[in-house]
DNA sequence: CATATATTCAACCTAATGGGTGAATATAAA
DNA sequence: TTTATATTCACCCATTAGGTTGAATATATG
């Protein structure tokens, strides 16, 4: 199955998409504006945006022929939570290991 | 180009690989042990491990015919830093926007 | 109405993923 | 030495990703 977290992390795994998100964190923009910095067809950028939408990292507001994209940071929370949890698990294990070595207790 | 952050996020985007990492955060394990919970060939798990190694999230210690895998949390820092930065950017923008609305200053 | 602009749709290509199987390799154990 | 175990290597397959180009659609503008 494809979970929301899967989609979020997959969306973040591409540098073009991260750059788009970083731009959008500063405020909404149209597709053409987002595409401008990249040496890539407008169509390709459009596809990247679609993947960001699939991950709910970006929302679209259509106004006439212009599509305004906005950043939605909500999905980042789950990604950050997962990472933080692994780091915590690891830190806990190291601490426990240290205790064992210092006190000589059984593991 | 394929940066380290790209590899890290791509590695984390798969649920099987996240489960493997979560297991390894509790301590090192052999390939067969890691594969055991999954309804999947040993070979497939072996491939997932290779991707985790490419992302430097896992290191391998060979002891005879056994390969012991360990979790390396270091690459998570960069991923977490990127996410935190976007969240901060967004929070800053919201704060600034709020100021403008409250004081009536020019944007 | 005619034309320019903004965006997507459709088809195509190549490379990478994620899965499988069977054989090869290396080490351990009987 | 023979056999069993642990792991990878070498293919095969279907799907997706990331890019292209060209046509279609919708809206502005002269």
- Per-position DSSP letters for A23-35, written without gaps between them: HHTT--EEHHHHH
Contact, A67 CB vs strand C, < 7 Å: yes
Phi and psi at residue A3, in whole multiples of 5°?
-85, 170
Q: A59 contacts in B (CB within 8 Å)?
A: none
Name the domain count of chain A: 1
Interface contact flag, A10 B10, Cβ < 8 Å: yes
Choose between B2 and B72: higher pLDDT: B72
The whole-number pLDDT of residue B107 equals 47
User: Which protein residue has its CA closest to C1' of C18?
Assistant: B44
Write the CB contacts of B83 (distance below 8 Å, at least 6 apart in sequence): A12, A76, A79, A80, A83
Gap between the terminal Cα atoms of chain A? 37
* Cβ-contact B53, A63 below 8 angstroms: no
Strands (DSSP E) contained in chain B are 29-30, 58-63, 66-71
CA distances from A47 to A90, B47, B106 (A): 37, 28, 35
If DSSP codes are grouped into helix, strand and coil, which group holds residue A77? helix
pLDDT one-digit tens code per residue, A44-86: 999 999 999 999 999 999 999 999 999 999 999 999 999 999 9
* Global confidence as pTM: 0.91
Q: B86 contacts in A (CB within 8 Å)?
A: 21-22, 25, 71, 73, 76
Beta bridge partners of A68: A30, A61
pLDDT one-digit tens code per residue, A6-53: 999 999 999 999 999 999 999 999 999 999 999 999 999 999 999 999
Q: Which of B6, B9, B21, B94 to mutate to test the interface with A (most CBs of A within 10 A)?
A: B9
The whole-number pLDDT of residue A103 equals 72
Please report, for the domain that includes residue A74, its CATH number. 1.10.10.10
How does residue A102 score in pLDDT terms, banded at 50, 70 and 90? Answer: confident
Parent domain of A39: 4-103
How does residue B6 score in pLDDT terms, banded at 50, 70 and 90? Answer: very high
pLDDT one-digit tens code per residue, B11-50: 999 999 999 999 999 999 999 999 999 999 999 999 999 9
Structure tokens at A26: 């500063």
- Closest residue in B to A16 (Cα–Cα): B6
The residue with tokens 């939605």 is: A72
């Amino acid at each position: 199955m494809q979970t929301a977290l899967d989609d979020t992390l997959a969306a973040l795994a591409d540098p073009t998409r991260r750059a788009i998100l970083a731009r959008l964190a500063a405020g909404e923009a149209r597709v053409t504006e987002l595409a401008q910095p990249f040496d890539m067809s407008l169509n390709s950028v459009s596809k990247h945006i679609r993947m960001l939408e699939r991950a709910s990292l970006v929302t679209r507001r259509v106004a006439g022929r212009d599509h305004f994209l906005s950043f939605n940071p909500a999905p980042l929370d789950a990604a950050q939570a997962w990472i933080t949890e692994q780091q915590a698990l690891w830190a806990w294990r190291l601490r426990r290991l240290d205790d064992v070595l210092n006190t000589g207790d059984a593991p």
